[in-house]
Amino acid sequence: MKILITGGKGLIGSQLTKTLSNKGFEVAVLTRKPDGEGQFTQYYWNPQKGEIDDQALLKMDCIIHLAGANIAEKRWTKKRREEIISTRVESAHFLYNKVKELHIPLKSFISSSAIGWYGMETSDTIYAEDAKCSNDFLGQLCRDWEDAADRFRDLGCRVSKIRTGIVLSDKGGALKKITKPIIWGQGAPLGSGNQFMPCIHIDDLCEIYTQLVEDKLSYGVYNAVAPDHITNEGLTKLLAQALEKHLWMPNIPSWALYMLLGKMSGMLLNGSRVSSDKLIKNGFVFSYPTIRRAIASIIY
């Protein structure tokens, strides 16, 4: 089977390409800056300019759409929000139009999504996949993102959408940002610290994608989060313990984060529990079902 991955040079994409290749799949990557390095074939694309090397799509069986500007990298100015949407949603529409134009007999389209579907709020609800999307920026982004993926059904494709939580990896990403102040002796919970932070080990996330490719998981929408529920305060303390550091600072005030990050601070100050029951009921077995075990595999 031939698989094409957008965002294949990112944190998740880099590991997923290796995981799928080790399973015997033929993997290629779409990138705006092909450099000829690494073991995987790289094809040029720039969806914002409507450009792609058509050879990338020929004879492909599956597309895994991971591309998207880092949602936590910059303040959500109007320009940044447009970039966040365009790199996820418009790029998916662009792929759909090219696959249709070239008459590619694509079998499967698997799109990344996010637990932002459920919104920036802290509540007693444990969100399952059938919950409605939130009306805030993240909820509407995820709605449009998933709607763009669903267009591939019109081409006879199996469509899956992976609502991903915070990805835990020793290669970077959110964990590196969270641990840095703890290492410097300045770690502290954010706001109340009671907001939940649904997480998943990158190995488990890559296995979800792999099982969808292999048809071991039925296609559809899944919450890619560990069964374990942990708050911001709980995660901060767990990381401090693993790093053998002391937490002595008071919680970072919500107003300070808002002054620094604007509306993006809501993503850090709020969070509800998200259910992984659907994955488990469909036969998926987590290698890292608890956040403690996931952290231990990365830090120790």
Distances (CA, A) of 77 to 80, 82, 130, 178, 195: 5, 9, 31, 23, 24
H or E element in which residue 65 lies: strand 62-65
* pTM for the full predicted model: 0.95
- CATH code at position 52: 3.40.50.720
Cα–Cα distance, 277 to 222 (Å, whole number): 9
**Is 107 within a domain?**
yes
Q: Sorting pLDDT into bands at 50, 70 and 90, what band is 125?
A: very high
**Is 155 within a domain?**
yes
Cα–Cα distance, 65 to 85 (Å, whole number): 14
Per-residue pLDDT tens over the stretch 128-142: 999 999 999 999 999
Q: Residue 73 has what pLDDT?
A: 87
Q: Rounded to an integer, what is the distance from CA 196 to the centroid of its chain?
A: 17
**Is 73 within a domain?**
yes
**Is 184 within a domain?**
no
Per-residue pLDDT tens over the stretch 4-29: 999 998 999 999 999 999 999 999 99
**Is 194 within a domain?**
no
Percentage of the chain with pLDDT > 90? 91
Q: Sorting pLDDT into bands at 50, 70 and 90, what band is 256?
A: very high
Instruction: Show contacts of 31-40: CB within 8 Å, 24+ apart.
Output: 40/8
Q: What integer best gives the mean pLDDT of the chain?
A: 95
**Is 257 within a domain?**
no
**Is 19 within a domain?**
yes
Domains: count for the chain: 1
Cβ neighbour number for residue 85 with a 10 Å cutoff:
18
**Is 9 within a domain?**
yes
Supply the range of the domain harboring residue 84.
Answer: 2-168+199-225
